[in-house]
């Protein structure tokens, strides 16, 4: 199945705790800030993959990447959720249970401002902002693949399938971007 309903809003929240800005040239600006909302199950569902390869350059702060080896088995501690289909009114894709798996932490590494890293499609990982929680990256998609991406959620935890990507106004999201990129503080 090819996923053809691309997110067209220029600036939105992402359930993994960052602002996402759509740019030209298959690029996105991602901005983390400690005041941003995340999906309710975040601590149990941050490990995910993508249906595309990408290169990401850290502009501000330090990004911490955790890469995981995944193996499917019926008693795995995580449920895999496939994201295919049309976006909901809240901006997210459906969460369709797609088996269980175990995740083994394979590596953790920091990427500092001015450096870049590459992630291959379908490699499981989670990212987190280092330092004061303010990080900005430019992510460029390279090769895209037809199968949908997965999120994981620890078995027994209900995934937050209704996270509202539009719960903050674009103006408030641009304040967050300004705070991180220009050091101009967010107003309450």
Over the stretch 86-114, which tens digit does the pLDDT of each residue have?
Answer: 777 877 888 899 999 999 999 999 999 99
pLDDT at 3: 37
The model's pLDDT over 117-146, given as tens digits with 9 standing for 90+, comes to 999 999 999 999 999 999 999 999 999 999
Q: DSSP string covering 115-157, please?
A: -EEEE-TT-EEEEEE-TTS-EEEEEEEEEE-SSPEEEEEETTS
- Least confident residue range of 71-75, 86-90, 94-98, 154-158: 86-90
| pLDDT tops 90 at residue 5 | no
Percent of the chain with pLDDT strictly greater than 90: 81
pLDDT recorded at residue 159: 93
CB-based contact 39:16 (threshold 8 Å):
yes
What integer pLDDT is reported at residue 94 of this predicted model? Answer: 81
What confidence score (pLDDT) does residue 184 get?
A: 59
pLDDT at 4: 39
Confidence band for 8, pLDDT divided at 50, 70 and 90? low
The pTM for the full model equals 0.89
Q: Does domain 11-182 have CATH number 2.60.120?
A: yes
Strand partners, 125: 48, 67
* Residue 179 C-alpha from the chain's centroid: 20
In this structure, what token pair is assigned to residue 58? 């850290």
Query: Does the structure show a pLDDT above 70 at 46?
Result: yes
Q: Can you tell me the mean pLDDT for 17-27? A: 95
Q: What is the C-alpha R_g of the chain?
A: 16
Q: In which band, very low, low, confident or very high, does the pLDDT at 15 lie, cut at 50, 70 and 90?
A: very high
Domains of the chain, by residue range, sit at: 11-182
On average, the pLDDT of the chain sits at 91
Residue 146: burial class (beta carbons within 10 Å; 0-12, 13-18, 19+)? exposed
């Amino acid at each position: 199945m090819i996923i053809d309903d691309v997110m067209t809003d220029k600036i939105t929240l992402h359930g993994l705790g960052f602002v996402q800005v759509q740019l030209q040239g298959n690029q996105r600006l991602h901005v983390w800030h400690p005041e941003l909302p995340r999906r309710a199950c975040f601590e149990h569902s941050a490990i995910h993959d993508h249906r595309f390869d990408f290169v990401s350059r850290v502009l501000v702060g330090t990004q911490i990447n955790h890469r995981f080896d995944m193996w499917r088995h019926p008693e795995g501690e995580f449920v895999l959720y496939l994201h295919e289909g049309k976006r909901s009114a809240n901006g997210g894709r459906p969460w369709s249970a797609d088996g269980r798996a175990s995740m083994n932490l394979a590596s953790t590494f920091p990427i500092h401002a001015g450096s870049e890293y590459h992630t291959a499609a379908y490699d499981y990982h989670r990212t987190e902002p280092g330092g004061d929680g303010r990080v900005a990256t430019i992510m460029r998609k390279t090769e895209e693949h037809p199968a949908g991406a997965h999120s994981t959620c620890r078995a027994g935890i209900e995934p937050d399938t209704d996270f509202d990507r539009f719960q903050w106004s674009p103006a408030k999201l641009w304040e967050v971007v300004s705070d991180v990129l220009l050091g101009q503080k967010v107003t309450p």
